[in-house]
Structures are given as C-alpha cells and as structure tokens.
Amino acid sequence: MNSTLFTNIFRFILLLSVQIIIFNNMNFLGYISPFPYMLFIILYPVNGNKTGLLLASFFLGLIMDVFSNSGGIHTAACIVLAYYRPYLFKFSFGLSYEYQTVKLNDVLTPERFSFILFAVLIHHLVLFVFEAFQISFFWDILIRTVLSTIFTIILCVIIIYLIKPSRR
C-alpha cells in the first residue's frame, strides 16, 4: 500500500515537471501541443481510492493552470477525466474489470489502446472547449483536439514503455 502511494506521488511530481519544462515548450505548427502529464490519471491504480484520485487530479490541473496562465481549463479537464475513468474501464475492458487486475503498463492490446485513446480524447475535448469558450471556434476546437490527441497518445505510449519495459 505504502509503495503504491509513493509511486503515485513520485509520478505526480515527475510528470508535472517534465510537462512544464519540456512538453509545454513543444509546438508543432504553432497550435499542436502534447499534454502527457494526464498519464498520471490514466496510470492511477484501478482499485485505488476514488476520492484521492479526484483530489489529486484537481491539484494536478490547478498547478498546470498556474504555470500556463489558463484560468481553470486544465483543472476542469483533469477532474472530468478522473470522474469518468471507471466508466471508461467498463467500456474498454468489459463489466467485470474490477475483479481481474487490469494492468495498463503491459503489452499494448486493443483494450488498453482504446482506453488510452478515449481517456486522452475526453481530456483534450474538455480542455480545448473551455480554452476557446466560444461556439464560433467550433472547427478550430475539433482540429486542435484531434491533432493534439494523436500527439499526446504517441508520447503516452512511448513514456509507458520507457518507464516500464515489459518483464517476462
């Protein structure tokens, strides 16, 4: 129990600092930017404390917002993703996900990939809708969401395999 707590705190700090120092300065074509810091919410233990996840995501988003001057958009995106994460598990892994131990950082199966895809998509959609906050930017929001989602997913998958190479 304690070791998972420390792993999570370590992951929280590491992902956040890498995001702020490196990935916030990455810009393709001026508007495509990756947000792999949300990997913290994806990798949080499946059976972990849900209240803890909600609070952790709140502070994760808040710190991101402080550093990028963006009001509350990262906070909103993070807690929406944290709240709907159990539904995503049900959708991707089937109803009985809580009984089998779902491990995300393992070989990339279609189930795991679909989970990451939808998680990133929800996060980015909320993020860009709140960022624009105007219906007249509809197509802009859609394009940004799709392109940034692709970018983030590629980075997420790379990071997962860099941190935990599958041991056999």
Partner 1 sequence: MQQIFNFIYKNSNRLLFLLLLGISLFLTIQSHSYHRSKIISSANFLSGGVYERINNVSEYLNLKSQNEILAQENAKLKSILFNVKDTTTIPKLDSIKGIHSDIIVSKVIHNSYDSHENYLTLNSGSLQGVKPDMGVINSLGIVGIIDDTSPRYATVISVLNINFRLNAKVKKSNHFGSLGWNGKSTGFVQLTDIPRLAAIRKGDTIVTGGQSVIFPENINIGTVYKVYTDDKTHYYTLDVKLFNDMTNLGHVYIIKSKDREEITNLENKRKNE
Residues lying near partner 1 in the complex (CB under 8 A): 20-21, 25, 27, 30-33, 50-51, 54-55, 58, 61-62, 65-73, 75-76, 79-80, 82-83, 130-133, 137, 140
* Residue number with CB closer to partner 1 (141 or 160): 141
Q: Report how far residue 29's alpha carbon sits from residue 32's, in angstroms, rounded to the nearest whole number.
A: 6
* Residue number with CB closer to partner 1 (99 or 139): 139
- What is the smallest separation between the CB atom of 163 and partner 1, expressed in angstroms? 23
Instruction: Report CA-CA distances (Å) from 72 to 52, 60, 77, 130, 131.
Output: 20, 11, 9, 8, 9
* Residue number with CB closer to partner 1 (80 or 160): 80
**Hey, is 28 helix, strand or coil?**
strand
Instruction: Using CB atoms within 10 Å of the CB of residue 42, give its burial: 0 to 12 exposed, 13 to 18 middle, 19+ buried.
Output: buried
- For 4-51, where are the E strands, in sequence order? none
- What is the smallest separation between the CB atom of 154 and partner 1, expressed in angstroms? 18
- What is the smallest separation between the CB atom of 108 and partner 1, expressed in angstroms? 29
- What is the smallest separation between the CB atom of 166 and partner 1, expressed in angstroms? 33
* Residue number with CB closer to partner 1 (79 or 160): 79
- What is the smallest separation between the CB atom of 57 and partner 1, expressed in angstroms? 8
How many other CB atoms are found less than 10 A from the CB of residue 46?
16
Instruction: Report CA-CA distances (Å) from 74 to 34, 112, 126.
Output: 13, 24, 9
* Residue number with CB closer to partner 1 (100 or 134): 134
Length of the chain, in residues = 168
